[in-house]
Structure 1
Amino acid sequence: MVGTPPELERGTGVPAHVQIERWLLESISRGDPAPGERLPGERELAGRLGVSRMTLRQALATLERDGVLVRIPGRAGGAFVAEPRIECDLTGLAGFTEQMRRAHLRAEARILAARTVPAPTAVARRLEVAPGAPVHEVARVRSAGRSPVALERSYFPDLPGLLDQDLTGSLYTLLATCYDLAPYTAVEHLDPVIARPGDAGELGIAPGTPLMLIERTAYAMDGTPVEFARDLFRPDRVRISVRSGVTGPAGS
């Protein structure tokens, strides 16, 4: 429950909705309310603040835009404190499990599919196999904390016994320890996309919600393709970062 609201200052040049934003940000930073908790209803909160619901909605809309709040429509909905976003650094070739370990979170996986399929044309091209050749498809919902973070769909060469392994942990560790095919380099492409109904249902979001697609081809040290993946990340839960540096003479 959010704490005691402040007395809004009039005539200071700071609009009431901005003062409300600052108060809510300070309260949330103290953990009152905590991530996942619901704010009081608009009518109640506006009354406690002595403002109109329109003024309150201005403040809530700004905090939702900034990723501080998640607003869910409907009778069971309302404004909820967003889970803090997780930093995922694409600079090194760390999988989801390792990224969560760095964030001091436990990575979890729910397997949606683990099967051998004929390689679609795009997959065959990335894995450098003939179209229709057998490849392993593994689809998983990855979670950290109390909600899903990403939907992973990976394709691997026809490695013997891969689908008999424990697929709930790090697949990169599995490639390294069981097949001596540790991913060494990768080419990744990022694109903003819109959640389709099936993907939205698995991620616990509404269809049409913006997502970040990361398409990746990973290679072993000798250049052998070992994975082609299309991962969908919730940008309200994950912030993608890439470090860069000068590797040669700096340009002008």
Structure 2
Amino acid sequence: MQESEGGPVAEEVRRRIVRMIATGALVTGDRLGTERALAERFGVSRATLRSALVPLNRAGVLERRTGRGGGTFVRGVVERDAAEQLGLPQRLAVGGGREVATVVLSVRERAADATEAAALGLGPGARVVEVERVRYADGLPLSLDRARLPAALVPGLAQADLAGSLYALLEERFGLAPDVSEEVITVAQATRREAEHLDVPPGAALLHLYRVARTADDVPFELSDDLFRADRVQIVARRGGPSRADVVPRG
């Protein structure tokens, strides 16, 4: 029998659980209460509670364990600080030692289009290297990334191992390190192709990060469109002290 994700009441319970994780009321490794206790806590039926947990289990935010001592445990969402310069592998390692993997979909050199040329400060006829990858955390797809870099700055990049941190590779091999990154964060709907790579339904909400990275000498070297599963990522903005503004995932 296929599990149902329920209606608006189940969705509200799901959002309350996500908020509890986002605010630290629930942390990675916490065991949720029994089904009966949780249903009473949220004031819903056990059937509604089960429906609320379905998308969180599918997204890897929660994990069901069987056997003695089993139950439903918090795995947590991936947190990305909008102000930091860490690449995704470093972010995931710093954030709790998650298992990270990358699948390179394509690498190609081509002529820059007008938008790319303007963003990267390129002249007529300039070429870019386009790298498209799917990033995984704990075996589940997390993001679909498409980076474009001036070909003149990264000779031989297409032949390099691109399964790790792109920023680490760019700094080690080409001396390109991000000193300033300008990011625009919006919400997008998954196309059929994006949905297939990210294992979400077509039209599902995605977090779209559009980024231009520059060196300390103000040389733009990366234009990137990163699409994150909104049910597995929260964007955090920190300024000054411990205050924080979270973009809470939506499923």
- Per the normalisation by structure 2, the TM-score is 0.69
Task: Identify if the C-alpha distance between structure 1 residues 174 and 242 changes in structure 2 by more than 3 Å, giving closer, same or farther.
Answer: same
Task: Identify if the C-alpha distance between structure 1 residues 211 and 164 changes in structure 2 by more than 3 Å, giving closer, same or farther.
Answer: same
Residue in 2 aligned with 1:234?
Answer: 229
Residue in 2 aligned with 1:58?
Answer: 48
Residue in 2 aligned with 1:148?
Answer: 141
Task: Identify if the C-alpha distance between structure 1 residues 157 and 180 changes in structure 2 by more than 3 Å, giving closer, same or farther.
Answer: same
- 1:103-118 to structure 2, matched below 5 A, reads 103=95, 104-118=97-111
1:155–1:227 CA contact under 8 A, matched in 2: yes
List gaps (5 residues or longer) in structure 1: 1-17, 34-44, 72-79, 247-252
Residue in 2 aligned with 1:134?
Answer: 127
User: Distance in 1 between the 2:176 and 2:221 partners?
Assistant: 7
Residue in 2 aligned with 1:85?
Answer: 77
Deviation at 1:127, TM superposition (A): 0.7
Deviation at 1:63, TM superposition (A): 4.7
Question: 1:242 aligns to what SS in structure 2?
Answer: strand
Task: Identify if the C-alpha distance between structure 1 residues 132 and 63 changes in structure 2 by more than 3 Å, giving closer, same or farther.
Answer: farther
List gaps (5 residues or longer) in structure 2: 1-12, 60-71, 242-251
Deviation at 1:242, TM superposition (A): 1.4
Q: Deviations over 1:164-189 (max 9, x none)?
A: 11111111111111111111110000
- 1:1-252 to structure 2, matched below 5 A, reads 29-30=30-31, 55-63=45-53, 68-70=56-58, 84-103=76-95, 104-130=97-123, 132-158=125-151, 159-245=154-240
2:144–2:228 CA contact under 8 A, matched in 1: yes
**CA RMSD for the aligned pairs?**
3.2
1:68–1:81 CA contact under 8 A, matched in 2: no
2:48 partner amino acid: Q
Identity %: 31
1:118–1:131 CA contact under 8 A, matched in 2: no
1:219–1:226 CA contact under 8 A, matched in 2: yes
- Per the normalisation by structure 1, the TM-score is 0.69
